[in-house]
Structure 1
Amino acid sequence: MVWSSPACGQTRVLRAVRVDEPPVIDGRLDDAAWQGVEPVSGFVQVNPDEGQPAAHETIVRVVYDERTLYIAVRCEDEAGIRAAQVRRDGDLGGDDSISIALDPFDDKRNGYLFQVGAAGARRDALIESSRASSDDWDGLWQAKTSIDAEGWSAEIAIPFATIAFNPQAGRWGFNVQRHVARLRETSRWASPSRDLGITSLGNAGDLLDLSGMSQGRGVTIRPYLVARFDADPKGVSFDPSLDVFYRLNPKVTAAITLNTDFAEAEVDDQQVNLSRFPLFFPEKREFFLEEAGVFSFGGIRRSPLPFFSRRIGIVRGEQKDILAGVRITGRHGRARFGVLDVQMKDDDDLGAKNLSVARVLLDVGEESSAGVIVTHGDPARPGSATLIGADYNFRSTTLLDDGVIEGNLWGQFTFTDPDVGPRKDDDPFAVGGRLALPNDPWRFSAFFAHIGADYNPAMGFVSRRGRREYDADVQYRWRPKQSHPLVRHVDIRADMRLFTDLDDRLDTLDDSLPRVTLETHAGDRFFVDNEIELNHLDEPFEIVDGIVIPVDNYVDHGVRAGFYMSRTRPIAVDVNYRVRSFFTGDRRDFYAAVEFRPNARFFARGEFEENDITLREGEFTVHTTRARAGVAFGPDLTWDTTVQFDNVSDKAAINSRIRWEIRPGQEIYFVYDEGFDVDEWTLRSNRQRVTFKLGLTYRF
């Protein structure tokens, strides 16, 4: 085992041992498979005392057989373990936990992240370009934990069929990170630097001596049966669906989906839009979240996205049926690629729709990449549209003496079928880039985009056309030189977001100058924010029905303050309040949330938001209320309910979902969904549906 500081260029090493008899996954670490296996330890703090030895020892062992990788982690700690989260994909911020990063191609960029909480909760994510790009990915793997008087243990089994890897490579990138919730201490096995995260695979250690692994025939079949009862029109329906995954080789996977159903997907949060621009809702459907990272582009997080999978099967909030889809993802040499093609069911308004996207990325240097993307199809209008884009994504952990530098350059071009609408193609381009120094104590980022007036990403997302966007964000994190009894650090941040038209005339400017956030050792945060906003309205804006803001230039100023309590507490309260001028009047915003988590089995959260707006043209108040409750009978059996209401749409909704994973890949969902029109205190049901979904998984 070799280790030194990252600056010395040395790499930590862990040797995996092949075993004939695999361990039983029960969290106890008493199997014969673990005996005699040389462990690694020597974790070093990332926070709060960077570079210092971890307060408690962490010991890691790895063994494997032909089909599965097994990882054992022993976390010593006699002072008390925080274990309040048991559900799959639950928030582990308030729990003791471990995180494991795997780079099975040893390409220093892409891999997998597996996290286990002390109570047995599991989270996983895909790592793309050294970032956790898709934490909604759910692989098939097992983990069990046990807690005793001297600490806790985790035992993990990751089938080789769950991940893609290079069978000729005996070396994988590997890293382990531990979080001690009581101390809010983070320690890491390799690269224990604040400038580098656990997903920074270029700075991971090495997992050696892997050979002779197999994924079997590489075939996974997932049949589903969905039964629905609808109250209006009343009736019962049964719909089968099928997903088939085939690993053409360990590096390439093909997936086919037939009669795709998303009954189990989480519901969207109700939102009231008080801006002139469209809202962005995240993707929550599993088929589109799997392997989603390969379709990410240019470091763009929201707009202008060339491909946004939520455009497929959802048109203006209405579900559209998917007949079939095919996806192929993988890598060849230094190239990564992804192709997705979806055939929609015929629609009376839109006709027959075939939607496709193709993406190729070529690794450049040690940590960078360059690629192209092409989309074809228009899911929301008759006819078709095409987009072509190219990007270069730079990342280096060695160019600076101590820190990371990242950059992106990209360009996009769109063509819209001229026979289906009045849109022109005089200015169908979007170009831009980003520069970031995501380091500690200084962080900096800058973004620029030129978005043509005729840019039309029919399968993507754009918030504003015919605009130029300039963003800048700088933050300094101050830490007391001597240990302070209360304060862990103070963040001082300034950010700006400026939009102009294509003649460089101001459209909007949002400034936060400065925002100061104080964080305590317990994890509580207090903040105050000075805000400035400029708006140029070149046409009237109807903010709500009957209230129209006239054309003019507006300068608004406000202050926001609030606090967020640590999630390590059984009761956590979040509150913030903002007062500001707003167009021709003023606005007061209040937000409060209370979360109750008495143990690992139950949680409840209530949220209330009020926007009180007084303008010369009229006044109104927006109320948005949301309540969530969940019961976790175990990591594999959960019951979650969400109730929502807002007084602008005067609509309320309840969604209650039971999920039971009988064993990995064998799942049952029971979903109750009902919507209401609200008239004062009277509720009138406008939809009611009960859904039962059974999903099975067979691997060969």
Structure 2
Amino acid sequence: MSKIPLSFAMGLVFVGTSLLANDDRVIRARYIEAPIVIDGILDELAWALVEPATDFVQTNPVQGEPATERTEVRLLYDDDNLYVGVYCFDSEGEQGIVVTDVTRDYQSSENDHFALVLDTFDDDRNGFLFGTNPEGAKRDAQTVGDGTHINFDWDGIWHVKTQITEQGWQVEMAIPFKTLRFREGDDQIWGVNFVRHIRRKNEVAHWSLVTRPYRMNRVSLAGTLEGLGGIRQGRNFYLKPYISTPITRREGDDVDFMPEVGMDAKYGVTPGLTLDLTLNTDFAQVEADVQQINLTRFSLFFPEKRDFFLENSGIFEFAHTGRRFGRRDLIPFFSRRIGIEQGEIVPILGGVRFSGRAGQYTLGILSMQTDEFEVTPSTNFSVLRLRRDILRNSDIGGLFVNKKVNGGDFNRTYGTDVNLKFLTYLNISSYILKTDTTGIDSQELAGAFNARWSDLFWDIEGEYLSIEDNFNPEVGFVPRPGIRKTLGELAVKPRPGESIGWIRQFRPGVTLDYITDQNNVLQTRVLDGSFTIELQNGGEIRFGHKSTFERLEEPFAIRLPQEIPVGDYQFADFSVSFFTDRSRAFSGDAGIETGEFFDGEKDSYRLGFLLQPSYHFLAEVGWEHDDVRLPSGDFTDNLVTSRFRYSFNTTTFLNALIQYNSTLKEVSSNIRFNWIYKPLSDLFLVYNERRASTGEVVERALIAKLTYVFDF
């Protein structure tokens, strides 16, 4: 039998999957005059009169194969809503269904799940996602840049009900047109795709094939929705006032009671552009940060969690095509710099955001004013982000960020970026930035170039980044200025198929980070090799070896009084880790990393357990331990993180986050009760406490907050 060369076979796979991805499927929505009753039972006659979308195709585990369970999706609409009716048939009936979570924006990969994406501008770039699981939980998001950024912190007004039956489960959704953004016109053509997760098989299937490594938010791979005629967005205007009653007491201080009132407003200026206003902005209900142990010389990154800044945050993203591209090395606009100073909350008087699409342009304007707080003066933060679509699926844009202290200094960041996508799997991104800071007039540039190829078999990435010594984006995040960084990554992803049935994919890979100063003197070099085994049930095993060079030009005070002296250091470590199937009632993870550390040694351990006997209750405990042995002295770190959640139903939740940090010698607690009594309207009861490890209370707060949406 003749043999086919491997390169030729891989080429056939590439061409075949590309052709499959471009096989455009079409579904028509049918107009109805009487509204659908959203109860999860598809018993209205109109559902039977419309042709369903069927024949879903696997993305995982076997790309291109038919889905193992049948799914039927039907679309109806009236003057106000798009209706979605779904039959998710299951050969094992109710016994085959897996539901682990009913909180908003639940983890879809750990549940049976159905979702759709609507590319309402049919531009192959942007979309709205709406999803649910068999218990009727909501999961929604905005996606921009053809899947480059997805924002699950966007919450729209829509309705869903589900029913579990002997044949599987059913879905009914009503998505108001005023929740969406789309072009004006009587005849609408939208992009659309549907996805179904069958968790017990760890299977993901789409109506219009989405090739690995992409997901449904890759809207350029969606099918077509036709039949929508004469729809209007209607008035898109709501007011959301709030009242908050915090009671706070700090160690050695009296009890403070300072009730607050404020309001958010949203108005659809055009079908594509939205104006948001906020007055006396409050974030009392936000979950506390998950603490981290820092054994590096550089600042840790903590993500933004405040709703106002998270909504539409994708519009303000800058040059983020590659998997590792600039995500932590340089973020020119980081909203967490607004209203937080040295870990303290600074009051925000108010702000405005104007964002959306107009023709080929995506626009974002943000301006926020903070109040004077202790030694921090009142400050204005303003951002302008503009992107223009070019070619079929690429864009070029600019960014301007301004920080102006009342009666004092200023700081500005501005630059341009380009993001190009070719041949389905190739992404190229580049940018150049400059800062202006009072008293600094040189060495304020930064720039980067990144290229990444990621297909079914290969992950290949290269990057060059330069950040000059005085580059200073005060409303951004740059943990390490004054560097030139070259990065290279190579990995392959073979799948053994039926020959090793319990393994889905191997991923051996190697990454090199080579960092110099601006004079090209080597500062850091990290060669990281890994071998990852992805299991069919969703678990994972990983082995790693890392070789590191570090040059210290000043002493590194890692823990007082321990200090690592100036010098060149070459050290290496080994690691192994695993986690099990998190959709089970009981699961766990563990990891160990051991080896040299500068002029000493370090052993790190990680252990975690997850208990979720039903979707109502979850308990998760994690422990991280570092044992560092240096000539200047030894020390250990311990971090214990505990999460507890009780979901009464899909609108009422009790959450607790309790953490112990041995470095801070402190136990912190964040306990939150949340009742969503109508869409986008909440009651929060929050208890926060910081307690020294010796038992004394450092700070304690009890907060009640009520919001209510007036939807006009």
Q: Residue in 1 aligned with 2:4? A: none
How many angstroms apart in 2 are the aligned matches of 1:363 and 1:637? 42
How many angstroms apart in 2 are the aligned matches of 1:656 and 1:345? 28
Tell me whether 1:51 sits opposite 2:68 in the alignment. no
Q: For the Cα contact (< 8 Å) 1:643–1:653, is it kept in 2?
A: yes
How many angstroms apart in 2 are the aligned matches of 1:331 and 1:92? 29
Question: Equivalent residue of 1:302, what SS?
Answer: coil
Note the alpha carbon deviations across 1:367-390, whole angstroms, 9 max, x for none.
000000000006799521111110
Given the alignment, which residue of 356, 363, 373 partners 2:382?
A: 356
Q: For the Cα contact (< 8 Å) 1:676–1:687, is it kept in 2?
A: yes
Q: Residue in 2 aligned with 1:121? A: 137
Find runs of 4+ consecutive structure 1 residues off by over 4 angstroms. Answer: 378-382
Q: One-letter code of the match for 1:221?
A: L
Quote how far apart the aligned CAs of 1:33 are: 3.7
How many angstroms apart in 2 are the aligned matches of 1:382 and 1:453? 23
Tell me whether 1:394 sits opposite 2:420 in the alignment. yes
Given the alignment, which residue of 236, 256, 278 partners 2:299?
A: 278
Q: One-letter code of the match for 2:588?
A: V
RMSD of aligned residue pairs (Cα, Å): 1.6
Q: TM-score, normalised by structure 1?
A: 0.95
How many angstroms apart in 1 are the aligned matches of 2:174 and 2:449? 41
Q: Residue in 2 aligned with 1:181? A: 199
Tell me whether 1:506 sits opposite 2:522 in the alignment. yes
Farther off after superposition, 321-330 or 267-276:
267-276
Q: One-letter code of the match for 1:187?
A: A
Cα–Cα, structure 1 residues 550 and 221, in superposed 2: closer, same or farther, change >3 Å? same
Q: Residue in 1 aligned with 2:449? A: 433
How many angstroms apart in 2 are the aligned matches of 1:282 and 1:67? 37
How many angstroms apart in 2 are the aligned matches of 1:378 and 1:25? 50
How many angstroms apart in 1 are the aligned matches of 2:71 and 2:109? 19
How many angstroms apart in 1 are the aligned matches of 2:553 and 2:18? 54
Q: Structure 2 matches for 1:19-38, cutoff 5 A?
A: 19-38=32-51
* Alignment size in residue pairs: 683
Q: Residue in 1 aligned with 2:225? A: 207
Q: For the Cα contact (< 8 Å) 1:311–1:379, is it kept in 2?
A: no
Q: One-letter code of the match for 1:151?
A: G
Farther off after superposition, 236-245 or 154-163:
154-163
Q: One-letter code of the match for 2:76?
A: V
Q: Structure 2 matches for 1:260-299, cutoff 5 A?
A: 260-299=281-320
Given the alignment, which residue of 411, 424, 442 partners 1:385?
A: 411
Tell me whether 1:683 sits opposite 2:695 in the alignment. yes
How many angstroms apart in 1 are the aligned matches of 2:269 and 2:444? 38
Quote how far apart the aligned CAs of 1:427 are: 0.6
Cα–Cα, structure 1 residues 91 and 481, in superposed 2: closer, same or farther, change >3 Å? closer
Q: For the Cα contact (< 8 Å) 2:181–2:233, is it kept in 1?
A: no
Q: Structure 2 matches for 1:562-601, cutoff 5 A?
A: 562-601=577-616
Quote how far apart the aligned CAs of 1:438 are: 2.0
Tell me whether 1:493 sits opposite 2:519 in the alignment. no
How many angstroms apart in 2 are the aligned matches of 1:160 and 1:435? 38
Question: Equivalent residue of 2:259, what SS?
Answer: strand
Q: For the Cα contact (< 8 Å) 2:280–2:350, is it kept in 1?
A: yes
Q: One-letter code of the match for 1:245?
A: K
Q: Residue in 1 aligned with 2:246? A: 228
Question: Equivalent residue of 2:164, what SS?
Answer: strand
Q: One-letter code of the match for 1:675?
A: R
Q: Residue in 2 aligned with 1:11? A: 24
Q: Residue in 1 aligned with 2:683? A: 668
How many angstroms apart in 1 are the aligned matches of 2:621 and 2:334? 30
Quote how far apart the aligned CAs of 1:211 are: 2.5
Note the alpha carbon deviations across 1:87-115, whole angstroms, 9 max, x for none.
11222222111121111111101112222
How many angstroms apart in 2 are the aligned matches of 1:488 and 1:386? 48
Question: Equivalent residue of 1:310, what SS?
Answer: helix
Q: For the Cα contact (< 8 Å) 2:179–2:236, is it kept in 1?
A: no
Tell me whether 1:156 sits opposite 2:179 in the alignment. no
Q: One-letter code of the match for 1:77?
A: D
Quote how far apart the aligned CAs of 1:71 are: 1.1
Q: For the Cα contact (< 8 Å) 1:167–1:212, is it kept in 2?
A: no
Cα–Cα, structure 1 residues 329 and 192, in superposed 2: closer, same or farther, change >3 Å? closer
How many angstroms apart in 2 are the aligned matches of 1:388 and 1:33? 54
Q: For the Cα contact (< 8 Å) 1:196–1:404, is it kept in 2?
A: no
Q: Residue in 2 aligned with 1:421? A: none
Q: Residue in 1 aligned with 2:396? A: 370
Given the alignment, which residue of 612, 617, 625 partners 1:602?
A: 617
Note the alpha carbon deviations across 1:494-543, whole angstroms, 9 max, x for none.
11222210111111122212x11112222221111111111000110100
Farther off after superposition, 210-219 or 600-609:
210-219
Quote how far apart the aligned CAs of 1:192 are: 3.7
Cα–Cα, structure 1 residues 554 and 380, in superposed 2: closer, same or farther, change >3 Å? farther
Quote how far apart the aligned CAs of 1:394 are: 0.5
Q: Structure 2 matches for 1:495-534, cutoff 5 A?
A: 495-513=511-529, 515-534=530-549
Quote how far apart the aligned CAs of 1:123 are: 1.7
Given the alignment, which residue of 294, 301, 324 partners 2:350?
A: 324
Q: Residue in 1 aligned with 2:270? A: 249
Quote how far apart the aligned CAs of 1:315 are: 1.1
Question: Equivalent residue of 1:279, what SS?
Answer: coil
Q: For the Cα contact (< 8 Å) 1:46–1:186, is it kept in 2?
A: yes
Cα–Cα, structure 1 residues 381 and 414, in superposed 2: closer, same or farther, change >3 Å? farther
Q: Residue in 1 aligned with 2:711? A: 699
How many angstroms apart in 2 are the aligned matches of 1:663 and 1:483? 52
How many angstroms apart in 2 are the aligned matches of 1:5 and 1:613? 49
Q: One-letter code of the match for 2:634?
A: E
Quote how far apart the aligned CAs of 1:348 are: 4.1
Note the alpha carbon deviations across 1:4-62, whole angstroms, 9 max, x for none.
97516441001111222222222222233423111110111111111111111110111
Cα–Cα, structure 1 residues 359 and 696, in superposed 2: closer, same or farther, change >3 Å? same
Q: One-letter code of the match for 2:555?
A: P
Q: Which runs of 5 or more structure 2 residues have no equivalent in the other structure?
A: 1-15, 321-325
Given the alignment, which residue of 631, 639, 645 partners 1:630?
A: 645
Quote how far apart the aligned CAs of 1:585 are: 0.6
Q: For the Cα contact (< 8 Å) 2:208–2:221, is it kept in 1?
A: yes
How many angstroms apart in 1 are the aligned matches of 2:90 and 2:600? 57
How many angstroms apart in 2 are the aligned matches of 1:628 and 1:604? 6
Q: For the Cα contact (< 8 Å) 2:17–2:211, is it kept in 1?
A: no
Farther off after superposition, 18-27 or 379-388:
379-388
Quote how far apart the aligned CAs of 1:580 are: 1.2
Question: Equivalent residue of 1:634, what SS?
Answer: coil
Q: For the Cα contact (< 8 Å) 1:312–1:379, is it kept in 2?
A: no
Identity among equivalent positions (%) equals: 33
Q: For the Cα contact (< 8 Å) 1:93–1:567, is it kept in 2?
A: no
Q: Structure 2 matches for 1:397-408, cutoff 5 A?
A: 399=423, 403-408=424-429
Note the alpha carbon deviations across 1:135-175, whole angstroms, 9 max, x for none.
22222222222111111112222222222211326111100
How many angstroms apart in 1 are the aligned matches of 2:77 and 2:17? 29
Quote how far apart the aligned CAs of 1:666 are: 1.8
Q: For the Cα contact (< 8 Å) 1:330–1:338, is it kept in 2?
A: yes
Q: For the Cα contact (< 8 Å) 1:311–1:459, is it kept in 2?
A: yes
Q: Residue in 2 aligned with 1:135? A: 152
Question: Equivalent residue of 2:293, what SS?
Answer: coil
How many angstroms apart in 2 are the aligned matches of 1:618 and 1:380? 47
Q: For the Cα contact (< 8 Å) 1:23–1:32, is it kept in 2?
A: no
How many angstroms apart in 2 are the aligned matches of 1:195 and 1:459? 33
Q: Residue in 2 aligned with 1:60? A: 73
Q: Residue in 2 aligned with 1:559? A: 574
How many angstroms apart in 2 are the aligned matches of 1:302 and 1:69? 40
How many angstroms apart in 2 are the aligned matches of 1:494 and 1:379? 46
How many angstroms apart in 2 are the aligned matches of 1:381 and 1:587? 49
Cα–Cα, structure 1 residues 111 and 192, in superposed 2: closer, same or farther, change >3 Å? closer
Quote how far apart the aligned CAs of 1:305 are: 1.1
Quote how far apart the aligned CAs of 1:459 are: 0.8
